[in-house]
Structure 1
């Protein structure tokens, strides 16, 4: 008899898993407490997958042999608690995809910041070098849908801690851990150590011969590594020390040593600017060298990469005022990186849904660079409290249009208006893309 697979959540990962599950002979049922988007409904209908929306039929869900839970659903959800209490195994979509990937290789990237940029850069280098590869996970297609519809020899996967929480056998050939800073603590009982352990699950199934690329300048990572012994090939990267095997930047030169061939290039040739992107570029270069991509291909690709939409994206210069869209900055650390890379006086647009933010992290940079803060959220009390003593001008607004007009009125020629909210977007927008798009539209309307 076919194994019953119940999928909670009818978004990209849920529908991707449903398509793959059906293809592999499971009896699949998708259940979503909210409404399922039309495009996803038609996907499910085409593949003859049974589904329900705006409700959960508990009897049918609890009759499952296995449940795949979308990453957005927390463990404290009452239905998830019942499923676990019934002893039904819960997996994530990347676990399902992994089971059916065949002989393909996986490069998996996680970290609190820079995941999307690094994943896209690795994919760009691999594609440039002629690999048949796909960009999957948190960006692009869901991993499961890609495996079902267009399998590749290499998957470059952006993986969140939520996806790692429910893996069993998932094992990347190359694991990349960029950094770990306090984020999503609301999902980890407000315990930082739970979140750290979750990120490190990316290497828990690795075997000798696999590689682990990590930042040797990240104290959290280095301290955690003292208590565990990865059995894989460690490839650290650093700006503070010379690395024998891995990568480092000394002065303005990046040096990568993985196999026999060494890759060196000037940081001034990197398409991506800012110190944090030098870390991302090192990680991507090491990953590429590990799968045997030649140094000239790595150099060419690093020079030609275009940065992502909503991540330090230049929008326009209006009467000498530069506008930058960094809507993807949904935590304080991302905003720290954004401010760190800007040289001009800045009007900063902050705010949204706070995930337990500690604004003292950016206090020094705000003092040094920020002349005004525009608070764009339904509850700005925490931001006002954190900065009203150090920023001469604080303004509260309730839309992207208001934020842009207000920022523009406060800006002088040579200033930068930076949207880098440090918060999730769900109070006023659909998601961070919607927030960034509305910001860009408002700039064009000036």
Structure 2
């Protein structure tokens, strides 16, 4: 009996996790990365005697695959992926591959913004009473956890790229935090294609499964009208009255599921801002469905610390608050950040623009932003857009310099906010690297 051949494209966290799981399940495994594989991942592959290559794709070793797991970073348009598909070989994402080897209850969380906070918060609420793993775009890969931990429950943060390559993946509970234009460069600049991609999280669900979603989000509501799903719907809203789901009742979050109700004051939430009330609604609805005690949910919401690089208060220097929101890689995320600013703000913005439309930020910029510091290789669009709106606009390509300029401009009582609204790859390794450089530069002032 010949072994099935699993080819893994991309030797990062998800790729190496899938390779290990595949090997354990009896596949003949080959890992191929067009770039360099990081040393820590190389060591794992060598230690487990898994064949690999880097800085090339050897077609003869790839096109003979029975199944290909591709990294979410590789677009479908890549010639190699086209070749693989033309041969009729199955291409899947890591969450699709790993889900075949677990019977766990899966909570899948997607959305343009808020998914990391919601996933981390949901995990925080559940882990008090359940054995639960946190994976997907966070921490150790899902495949690796299925192999090593075999948790009975998982909270997965899932990107649209990962959903593009699912076939049978079906979370018991799906959460859709919101949908705003993002990554349109991967979706032929069609917002509709991106919406369809996000909704794939529910495509295999039945009425025994649940879809929790933002009922204030037009893109979601309109899509559901035109393309109903099988799932039991549990919406959340800040403005509507919701019979089954979550809504605001004066200053309280009210969650109702089959007449079973839980009420929590918003004043006690650890995280600030309207968008975090929504994140709390989504996470609490999941916890309520999975029978976490009401008292535990309330306490967990009060002591949750938040996520690094997401509106993270770094330090106050000379009465100026420095805030790291490096995780804001699109305009909508920066919208939430500027919305929550309650003082004059020096705003550090820029990077790789994914076809951004900055219009929704104009009212906040006019009202709250006193200076704009453009931090990117190409800042022309930012200068054209915001040049006339603020008194001071500067450009730089170094984080240390951006922070020094901000320090000079900011006065007592101001905020300095890094909320780039762009991807980080022009000057930094990733948004974490960008955020850490910001924090280091601030601490070195």
In structure 1, the partner of 2:101 is 100
Looking at structure 1, the residues matched to 389 and 207 of structure 2 have their Cα atoms a distance apart, in angstroms, of 52
User: How far apart are residue 349 of structure 1 and its match?
Assistant: 0.2
- Residue 325 of structure 1, CA deviation: 0.3
Q: How does 1:291-302 map onto structure 2 within 5 Å?
A: 291-302=290-301
Q: Equivalences for 1:128-207 in 2 at 5 Å?
A: 128=128, 130-207=129-206
The Cα of 1:251 is off from its aligned counterpart by 2.5
Deviation of 1:213 (Å): 0.2
Deviations 1:332-363 (A, max 9, x none): 00000001111100000000011111111211
Structure 2 CA distance for aligned equivalents of residues 318 and 121 of structure 1 = 29
Deviation at 1:229, TM superposition (A): 2.0
Bigger shift: 82-91 or 16-25? Answer: 82-91
Partner deviation per Cα, 1:364-404 (whole Å, 9 max, x = no partner): 11111000000000000111111111111100011111010
Q: 2-side partners of 1:140 and 1:250: how far apart?
A: 36
User: Which residue of 2 is the match for residue 353 of structure 1?
Assistant: 352
Deviation of residue 250 (structure 1)? 2.8
Rounded to whole Å, the distance in 2 between the matches of 1:209 and 1:415 is 50
Within 5 Å, which residues of 2 pair with 1:272-291?
272-291=271-290
Q: Does 1:47 align with 2:85?
A: no
SS in 2 for 1:257: strand
Residues 8-50 of structure 1: per-residue CA shift (max 9 Å, x gap): 0000010010011001111110000111001101111222211
RMSD: 0.8
- 1:333 is matched with 332
Q: Secondary structure at the residue paired with 1:40?
A: helix
Task: Say which SS state the counterpart of residue 226 (structure 1) adopts.
Answer: helix
1:366 and 1:39 mapped to 2: Cα distance?
43
Q: How far 1:292 moved relative to its partner?
A: 1.1
Deviations for 1:407-437, whole angstroms, at most 9, x for unmatched residues?
1101110000000000111111111111111
Compare 249-258 and 274-283 and name the one that shifted more: 249-258
Secondary structure of 1:368's match?
helix
Partner of 2:408: 409
| Offset at residue 260 of structure 1 (A) | 4.3
Residue number in structure 1 paired with 2:69? 68
Q: Is there any run of 5+ residues in structure 2 with no aligned partner, and where? A: none
Deviation >6 Å, runs of 4+? none
SS of residue paired to 2:127:
helix
Q: Which runs of 5+ in 1 are unaligned?
A: none
Deviation, structure 1 residue 66:
1.0
Distance 1:119 1:46 in 2: 32
Aligned residue runs from structure 1 range 77-88, under 5 A: 77-88=78-89
Q: In the alignment, does 2:282 pair up with 1:307?
A: no
* Offset of residue 276 of structure 1: 0.6
TM-score normalised to structure 2 length: 0.99
1:91 to 2:84 alignment: no
In structure 1, the partner of 2:316 is 317
SS in 1 for 2:207: coil
